[in-house]
Every structure is written in structure tokens, then in C-alpha cells.
Amino acid sequence: MKFGIAVFPSKKLQDLANSYRKRYDPHYSLIPPHLTLKEPFDATDEEINKIAKKIEGIAKDAEPFTLRAYKISSFQPVNNVIYMKVDSVPELINLYQSLHNEEFGVKSQYSFVPHITIAQKLSNDEHSDVYGSLRMAGVDHEETVDRFHLLYQLENGSWTVYETYRLGGGDS
């Protein structure tokens, strides 16, 4: 089964992201707006139980952090993804690094750029038009994140929560 790890922002930020995603992101119906902490990986039931325990330990040692989405940016020319850029605060970077040590195997194919995707799989012309208008609209949002989620992918391609972890070790 495929798993991933992500932060779901507040409803307010999700609503803002979805106002763009419903038009510009074909994955809109598969997963809510999120900040990816670990890209999809495969694990058996037995493996995911061990991984879930490791994640629990990481969550206890991690601190809540401020998620500040402060500008619209793009990964072009690598790909035509448009996103809300999120501040690289130390608590977020430490959490990401903890989820990418040797125990977790697969290294990310990209360097970590904290973000929430709002548009993807656009043609070059679409990207240019959409990016121009979204950059002018901008974003300025700040909130405290105190939890993250281990997700699994269903047969229809959508993602659902497998387990929720509180940062600092509080109860879910």
C-alpha cells in the first residue's frame, strides 16, 4: 500500500487554496490542500506498524510550528506547479529531516521547499497566465500547526488519514 506524510492547514487556508485548486489542480478531489512532509512510499501492513511507531517518537520530540504562507511561487522550469510558499522555520525543517533519516529509507528526489500546491499539470501557456494572475492576488496567512498525518492511498487514488500525530506528544 502507498503511504505519505503531510500537514493539513486550517480550514481557512484550505478554502483559499481550494478556490484555486478546483480550477487548476487535477488532484483537487483526491486530497485536501496540504504541505507534504514525506512523498508517497510503499509499505506492507507489518512495515507500516513499525513506521507508525517511529513516527510517534518523532512527533513527541518535535515542536509545534508557525505555518506562514507568504507568497505565490512556481517550480518552473522544472515543472509547471504553482504553490503557496511556506516559511522554512527551524521546527518544520527539523520535523522534515527526522522523517528522512536512514530508518525511513527512500530519500526525496527533490530538496525540501515547504509549500502548498494550488495548480499543477498546466501547459506552458496556462502556467504563464495563471501564475501571473495568482502572483498578483498573493497570499498572507499565518497559523500554528500542532499535528501532522500519516496518510494512505485508496484504490481510487484518493488519500485518507491512517494516523494523526500531535507535535510535542499531546494526545491526538
Whether the Cβ atoms of residue 163 and residue 6 lie closer than 8 Å to each other: no
- Does this model's pTM top 0.75? yes
The pLDDT value given to residue 48: 95
157: left (phi over 0), alpha (psi -120 to 50) or beta: left
Residue 59 lies in a domain: yes
Supply the range of the domain harboring residue 25: 2-166
| Separation between Cα atoms, residue 146 and residue 87, nearest integer Å | 16
The pLDDT value given to residue 105: 64
Residue 172 lies in a domain: no
In angstroms, what CA-CA distances link 164 with 56, 126, 167? Answer: 9, 36, 10
Residue 32 lies in a domain: yes
Residue 133 lies in a domain: yes
Helix (H, G, I), strand (E, B) or coil at 8: coil
Annotated active-site residue 115? The verdict is yes
Annotated active-site residue 141? The verdict is no
* ∠ CA 160-161-166, rounded to 5°: 155
Q: Of these residues, 27, 115, 127, 149, which one is catalytic?
A: 115
Give tens-digit pLDDT for 45-82: 999 999 999 999 999 999 999 999 999 999 999 899 99
Q: Residue 25: give its domain's CATH number.
A: 3.90.1140.10
Residue 25 pLDDT level (bands cut at 50, 70, 90): very high
Q: Which residues contact 50 (CB under 8 A, 6 or more apart)?
A: none
Residue 171 lies in a domain: no
Whether the Cβ atoms of residue 108 and residue 39 lie closer than 8 Å to each other: yes
Residue 141 lies in a domain: yes
Task: Give how many domains the chain has, as a whole number.
Answer: 1
**Can you read off the three cell numbers belonging to residue 140?**
498572507
Give tens-digit pLDDT for 96-154: 999 987 777 666 677 899 999 999 999 999 999 999 999 999 899 999 999 999 999 99
**Can you read off the three cell numbers belonging to residue 109?**
528526489
The pLDDT value given to residue 110: 73
Q: Tell me whether the omega of the peptide bond preceding residue 64 falls within 30 degrees of 0, making it cis.
A: no
Residue 88 lies in a domain: yes
| Separation between Cα atoms, residue 11 and residue 170, nearest integer Å | 21
Residue 172 pLDDT level (bands cut at 50, 70, 90): very low
Q: Of these residues, 34, 100, 141, 149, which one is catalytic?
A: 34
Give the Cβ contact number of residue 72 at 10 Å.
23
Residue 77 lies in a domain: yes
